[in-house]
Every structure is written in C-alpha cells, then in structure tokens.
Amino acid sequence: MAERVPKIPGIRFDAIAGRGGMSIVWKAYHQRLDKVVAVKVMNQEATRTGQEIRQFMEEARAMTAIRHPCVVHGYEADCCNGRYYFVMDYVGGYTFASLLGRKGHVAEADALVICDSVAEALGYAWKEHNVIHCDVKPENIMVDMDGLVKIADLGLCRVMSNRRKAQTGPVDEIIGTPAYMSPDQIFADQPLDPRCDIYCLGASLYHLATGHMLFPDDDNDATLKAHVDDACRAPYPRELMPSLSVGFSRMLIKMCVKNRELRYRSWEEVLADSRLVQRGQLPAPPPAGAISSVKDEPPGVV
C-alpha cells in the first residue's frame, strides 16, 4: 500500500528517502527556506507514548543546535495535524553502509577521512553541547555530493549534564545498535561520555576497513555479550585485510578497548593518532593491561 503523503503547510513532499523504526524521511521542498530538504515524519503509531515523542524531539533539538559542517543540520521541528516532524538538510550522496554493500570494504585512506570527520564533528558536539551520539554506525555516516563526510541521525543521542543524564530515557535503557554498541552502553551503570562514541566509531571503522564486523550480529544477545566479555576478541585487523597499516590497526585496537578507562579518553587523542598514521608514523601501543575487543598485535610488529 502506498504511503500516505503528509500535509504540512509550506512543505511539498516529493518522495520517500528512507524509513526508520518510528519515522519516515521524505525528500521535500521547503517554501520558506527555498531549498530541497529532508523531512523526518514520525509514524502515527509511534506517537502513542510520550517516550517516543520525547526521543524524536530530542533528536530535532540536537540537530538544530549543532552547527558543524560534518553534522547534518536541522532547521525546525513541530507538530501539524497530529504528525510530529522536523526539517533538516537533504544529503544527496550515499551512506558508507551502502558503499560497504557494493564494494565490500573501504580503503584505509578513506577510513581515516571518516575517522577525522566524525571525530571533529562529535568532538564539537560534546564540547559545545554535551551531546553523545550513541548510534555511530556505517548507516549514519554519509558522503554528500561534494564529497564531505557527515554524521547523521541523532535519534538516540543523549544530552549529558555534568552530574547525570538528562531525562531522555531510563538509566538502565540499552541504547544503540548491537553490532557497534560500546560496553558502556550495555552496562549502562555510569553516565556516558565521548568514550562511548569512540568505541562505536572504532567498531564501524573495523567493519568498513576489514569488511567484517567486530563481532557477528546473527544474534543480538550473543553480540552484546561479545562486546562485554573479556574472552571475546575479534581478529587482528591485518589478519583480515593485510593491506592495512600497523599504525591504523593499532588505532582500531585502541578505539575498541572494552575497558573505557583504558580506551582513548577524548576525540582529541583519536585525531592526534589519526594524523600520526597519515604521516606514516606509529601511534603508541594500547596501554599495558588493556583488554581489547581485537587481538593484541602479533609478535614482531614494530
């Protein structure tokens, strides 16, 4: 059955651009902005509880507040004829999930561009707005028509105060996508910080660069267990993709350390190591005693 086109004054809906669990994204023309936009419209079934509405509007507020070239920007959010919606930039390129599906993996140089773009964007979001994305994955990393990498979909974002979570969901709620979810999100026993998104990006880059997920996602419970179980370690990146450099492999290991106290502490640290790798230099190895999601470097790696 064809999807019913929403009726919102000043917006002409042209085509469906994507579907999510509780919303549909339309390509549309916004008369006041005089531009093609994307409009995310919440499914009417999802508006029956206040929690879904709060989550939807939290994403809209975050995307409207964050102004960074590598974050998909939002313009307005409202409710019309019982339909909650918000307007954001239309990105006419592709996601890295779709590229992964076509090519099987991305080159290390491209993975480093993704790393830098996402790190700069989420570093800004944290520093200026206390926002944690919570769902960094290849589906949410896009390339626009000009080749600029952008992070999208803040639907699971959390706005953190200095002492506690903002009231965007229950403290014990598991939020994220199992294949890329950090142990911090799974345990949900402490307030989240950028180390959560660093792990998610590391898991995403591992998948993009090697063509294999950090842990198989055939069963969500098993995948979640693998992220937190010290005994579960994915293959060393170069075992799966020998063309990867030792420096980049070392970065992936450090991003995906299960114990967040031994992981990269900030986006600035990630960017510093990324630039070392791009210069052909080796980042420092993971800290002594780190339990990594991937195997330690094979003997003889220098």
Query: Which residues are catalytically annotated?
Result: 135
Closest CA to 227 of 189, 249, 196: 196
DSSP string of 148-172?
-EEE---TT-EEB-SSSB-SSS-TT
Q: For residue 235, what are the CA distances in angstroms to 49, 105, 207, 209?
A: 42, 16, 12, 13
CA angle 266, 178, 42 (to 5 degrees): 95
CA 136, 70, 114, 287 torsion-angle sign: negative
For residue 33, give the amino acid letter. L
Cα separation of 86 and 63, whole Å? 10
Cα separation of 13 and 174, whole Å? 34
